[in-house]
Chains A and B, each alone.
Chain A
Amino acid sequence: MIYDLKCANPGVPVSVKLVAEVGVGTVAAGVAKGNADEVLISGHDGGTGASPLSSIKHAGVPWEIGLAETQQTLVRNGLRDRILVQADGQMKTGRDVVIAALLGAERFGFGTAALVSLGCLLMRKCHLGTCPVGIATQSPELRERFAGRAEYLVRYLTFVAEEMRRIMAPLGFRTVDEMVGRVDRLDCRTAIDHWKAKGLDFSAVLAPPQPLNGCALRCLRAQANAHADHRDGEILRRLGHSIETGERASIEIPIRNVHRAVGATLSNRVVSRHGPGGLPDGTLEITFTGSAGQSFGAFLAPGVTLRLVGDANDYLGKGLSGGRIVVVTPPAAPFDPKENVIIGNTVLYGATGGEVFVNGLAGERFAVRNSGATAVVEGVGDHGCEYMTGGVVVVLGRTGRNFAAGMSGGIAYVLDEHQLFDTLANLDTVDLEFLWHREDRDALHDLIARHERWTGSRQARRILDAWQEMAGKFVKVMPIDYRRALERLRDREDVGDEATPATEEVFRG
């Protein structure tokens, strides 16, 4: 993920937020090795007004404990000098900041207190868009009620800084940098002497770590640039001109599974040059041969088509944003495409638009959290279309169990030749229908025909050849809330109201 994000936006620092809990230090060490620029240790006290009470009450431990563990692990393993550490979770005073710095943080997050200085009343309605003081809402009427001013926030933080200075002066620190990691200067005797704290042992939290090879106690250097050998470097060299001018171009290039997030940096270039609309469909076409690494075609922009002859690892089309990915089983392959997995798990995770055509089977969690992409695949593993909120998925073959779990939007068409699909689908939030609407059949036919055109799929050919018979074997998976939302939208269209995205309409209920 860190790598994907760095590819998607080269040069931008990546921060990873971790909940303070036992073992967080190990995770933070992994984050540092994974090349993140910052790790954020978040305490149990925080949580937005949208978070459920169960999370607010029962998730995590105090940031003090998580931060101490993180700092100790990073210092002992010689990783601390190349990653920034931030702490947050109900920080309110200069005293909080000084303690966080002494425990090893150099950055500090303020959420609640800062918002309260701007008028937040802790309504816990951030997820409803009905904030009565106009903070967590997009409603113009409610935003009118916002009474905060930037000066209030400035004043609050000035007081925090002032209090920090008052504590730092007797400690003999002139800058925050000097303070970071100086856990030896923390005095906690009076706190421990309190009768409630009797029997508590803080020595592990307050233990100064032994640095490995004289590792510094704070971040002193940047992470290494791990993207020098990224596959997109060559693509950009060869397509640089087309990206600038928008001329059509197509290239062929081999690929190996060490090449991760291919297409992400290319998409970044396309979008920064032409805006989020990208290029016209079919402008850039790149054909890869081989076995693609993780996150193939991540965040792919409109106008880019990636053809892959071979197979791909997990996270294909992660966050797909309008581009097209075509995966074709090599013609010489000795196996039947509709019986063999050629792309990994968690395909189209969080995709918002674009198309994927896969001439073969996909792994588990296909199209999880998809909110707008269209996909045709010849079979999927367990948990297909999990938490999907939009888009269209066509499965031309078998599915695993728990299909459509938590699916609240979008549509899936599944070829159910053996009439077992209703035993595999999770019917908590969806209904199964036959294709008895003309538009449904036409739309499906169109998608399968395009699948056949892009991939030359024999399975697609077989279905299209016997369309009258095969169309009756498809099942349409329709989320119940989504259908209601579409009906409401149609009713509203009749009276000429403005358009609302269906995903939003589901949310409104």
Chain B
Amino acid sequence: MADPTGFVEFARVEVGHRPIQERVRDWKEIDRPLADGVLHEQAARCMDCGVPFCHGVGCPVVNRIPEFNDLVYQRRWREAAENLHSTNNFPEITGRVCPAPCEAACTLALNDDPVNIKHVEYQIAERAFAQRWVAPIRPARKTRKRVAVVGSGPAGLAAAQQLARAGHDVVVFEKDDRIGGLLRYGIPDFKLEKPIIDRRLEQMVAEGVTFEPGVNVGQDLSARYLQRTFDAILLAMGAGEPRPLDVPGADLGGVHFAMDFLTQQNRRVAGDSADEEDDEAIHARGKHVVVIGGGDTGSDCVGTSVRQGAASVTQLEILPRPPEGRNPRTPWPGWPLILRMSSSHEEGCRRRWSVLTKELTGSGAHVLELRGCEVEWNEGPQGWEMKKRPGSGFAIPADLVLLSMGFLHVVRRGLVDALGLELDVRGNVVVDRWMSSQPGIFAAGDTVRGASLVVHAINQGRLAAAAADRWLQAR
């Protein structure tokens, strides 16, 4: 254990952000990493619990958290990096964007502030890259089996890396022009700078993974061709079907899905995209932006709109305002439903809860105003019931409406339909030990689970790769 009484001696220190005035003028990452001495103390807070809830309950990839905390405390960084990479393919990414269920499950979170696990992870990963410890891990022997991975998000990349290391020839197909999926085009640069992905892709290329961006399997390549050419197929194309807004006026100009908006900005930062004056461009400059949906994607829309120079940003959420701090409904060590203030919210945004959008109105083809009302939630016999509050109607100006109300399921059109995969009631691909209803076709990530965390995607990618490997080896 790091330090038996560290948790008593040292208080948690949060990772700082660059000042708001500075950071909203660029697209660089906003975190200010902790200094070495402070980090050492933060690692010392780990108690090396007899039952480490962070590891067993919190972390989806079951990171060996107490062990790497101790290694960092002892400044054995190289071993810490090896330890971390043994369970997590991309700690540099989860160290940035993971909501850290491990910290919610940390034993200290019960009656104190949890260990800063996520930042320890970040620092280990960054040091590993800085010291060039992240070297390609090449398989001892090749199996001569070919595996196609469809989709290059965290699930696809994790699966591809694991399969390549097992000795298979892996080809990753990506419909977009660059590899990375939602990491590349879903998460704004201020949370995850894209060179971070590129340096990891270098390692994967050196390990023998072939990347084929710009290929939409199902359209550009037929499902049958894929099945003929590869010994196994692993589907990791995410849950791309956004939940639509079903109100009058939703088809007006200026109403967009969040992902279209965020992707454009990431392309712009990468220097790939047309400028903001383009007809197709979605840009918030000088506009009254309304973001519908109070999740993480919504908050990314807020941060991006602020950086683009929006006149005002309002975020609407249909659910009631969650309580502040731990509450008995979502007890430790589970993930607490509490009011969260993201860095984007700090940058200037009005948040409203218990709000239902009823209508979008505009002049001609463009949206100008959002009309809604407040709702009440009451727990009934069939669960929570929503009721409109009489006389609470309101209208707010809205030049740009961004829809971030979550995702429904995998996009069926194309590959999923062509392969004839069985789907569950939610529309996700049904798997048994990670194999879909078609033999040799595996699936992982949001495709199976519905939209979820990066870390779940990595975990499922690893598990599905292991299952595919076993299946291939057995043949």
Q: How many A-B residue contacts, CB cutoff 8 Å?
A: 42
Binds A, one of B105-113, B319-327, B393-401: B105-113
Taking CB atoms, residues of chain B closer than 8 Å to A449 are none
The complex places the Cα of A147 from the Cα of B326 at a distance, in Å, of 15
**A132: interface (CB < 8 Å):** yes
Q: Is the CB of B112 within 8 A of A132?
A: yes
The complex places the Cα of A147 from the Cα of B332 at a distance, in Å, of 14
For A134, the closest partner residue in chain B by CB is: B111
Q: Is the CB of B47 within 8 A of A132?
A: yes
The complex places the Cα of A139 from the Cα of B49 at a distance, in Å, of 18
* Chain B proximity of A391: nearest CB distance (Å): 28
Taking CB atoms, residues of chain B closer than 8 Å to A128 are 4
Q: Is the CB of A121 within 8 A of B8?
A: no
A121 and B107 in contact, given A130-B47, A132-B47 (Cβ under 8 angstroms): yes
The complex places the Cα of A132 from the Cα of B4 at a distance, in Å, of 11
**B7: interface (CB < 8 Å):** yes
**A60: interface (CB < 8 Å):** no
**A18: interface (CB < 8 Å):** no
**A151: interface (CB < 8 Å):** no
**B51: interface (CB < 8 Å):** yes
The complex places the Cα of A375 from the Cα of B151 at a distance, in Å, of 79
Taking CB atoms, residues of chain B closer than 8 Å to A240 are none
Most buried by B among A49, A124, A132, A141: A132
Q: Mark A130-144, 1 if CB is under 8 A from B, else 0.
A: 101100000101100
> Which secondary structure dominates where chain A touches chain B?
loop
Q: Is the CB of A125 within 8 A of B47?
A: yes
**B50: interface (CB < 8 Å):** yes
The complex places the Cα of A124 from the Cα of B51 at a distance, in Å, of 8
For B3, the closest partner residue in chain A by CB is: A130
For A129, the closest partner residue in chain B by CB is: B4
Taking CB atoms, residues of chain B closer than 8 Å to A121 are 49-51, 53, 107, 110
Q: Is the CB of A132 within 8 A of B7?
A: yes
* Chain A proximity of B1: nearest CB distance (Å): 8
A132 and B50 in contact, given A125-B4, A141-B8, A142-B8 (Cβ under 8 angstroms): no
* Chain A proximity of B67: nearest CB distance (Å): 15
A122 and B51 in contact, given A133-B110, A145-B111, A147-B111 (Cβ under 8 angstroms): yes
A123 and B51 in contact, given A130-B5, A132-B7 (Cβ under 8 angstroms): yes
Q: Mark B107-141, 1 if CB is under 8 A from A, else 0.
A: 11011100000000000000000000000000000
Q: Mark B50-68, 1 if CB is under 8 A from A, else 0.
A: 1101000000000000000
Cβ 8 A contact of B50, one of A123, A141, A142: A123
Q: Is the CB of A133 within 8 A of B4?
A: no
The complex places the Cα of A33 from the Cα of B111 at a distance, in Å, of 50
* Chain B proximity of A451: nearest CB distance (Å): 43
For B51, the closest partner residue in chain A by CB is: A122
Cβ 8 A contact of B49, one of A123, A141, A145, A147: A123
Taking CB atoms, residues of chain B closer than 8 Å to A123 are 47, 49-51, 107
The complex places the Cα of A125 from the Cα of B107 at a distance, in Å, of 13
Q: Is the CB of B108 within 8 A of A132?
A: yes
Cβ 8 A contact of B111, one of A122, A125, A130, A133: A133
Taking CB atoms, residues of chain B closer than 8 Å to A142 are 8
For B6, the closest partner residue in chain A by CB is: A130
The complex places the Cα of A139 from the Cα of B110 at a distance, in Å, of 18
The complex places the Cα of A121 from the Cα of B107 at a distance, in Å, of 8
* Chain B proximity of A93: nearest CB distance (Å): 20
Taking CB atoms, residues of chain B closer than 8 Å to A132 are 7, 47, 107-108, 110-112
Chain B contacts with A in 88-109, Cβ cutoff 8 A = 107-108
The complex places the Cα of A132 from the Cα of B7 at a distance, in Å, of 9
Taking CB atoms, residues of chain A closer than 8 Å to B110 are 121, 132-133
Taking CB atoms, residues of chain A closer than 8 Å to B112 are 132, 145
Taking CB atoms, residues of chain A closer than 8 Å to B5 are 130
Chain A contacts with B in 274-315, Cβ cutoff 8 A = none
Chain B contacts with A in 357-385, Cβ cutoff 8 A = none
Chain B contacts with A in 1-25, Cβ cutoff 8 A = 4-5, 7-8
For A131, the closest partner residue in chain B by CB is: B47
The complex places the Cα of A122 from the Cα of B7 at a distance, in Å, of 17
The complex places the Cα of A132 from the Cα of B110 at a distance, in Å, of 9
For B50, the closest partner residue in chain A by CB is: A124
Q: Is the CB of B4 within 8 A of A130?
A: yes
* Chain B proximity of A396: nearest CB distance (Å): 43
Q: Mark B38-52, 1 if CB is under 8 A from A, else 0.
A: 000000000101110
For B333, the closest partner residue in chain A by CB is: A121
Q: Is the CB of A122 within 8 A of B8?
A: no
For B47, the closest partner residue in chain A by CB is: A132
* Chain A proximity of B103: nearest CB distance (Å): 15
For B108, the closest partner residue in chain A by CB is: A132
Query: Contacts A130-B7, A142-B8 given; 8 further ones with Cβ under 8 A?
Result: A121-B49, A122-B51, A123-B50, A124-B50, A124-B51, A125-B50, A132-B112, A147-B111
Which of A's residues lie within 8 Å of B, judged by CB? 49, 121-125, 128, 130, 132-133, 139, 141-142, 145, 147
Interchain residue pairs with CB less than 8 A apart (7): A121-B51, A123-B50, A125-B4, A132-B107, A132-B111, A133-B111, A142-B8
Which of B's residues lie within 8 Å of A, judged by CB? 4-5, 7-8, 47, 49-51, 53, 107-108, 110-112
Closest 4 CB pairs of A and B: A124-B50, A122-B51, A145-B111, A122-B50
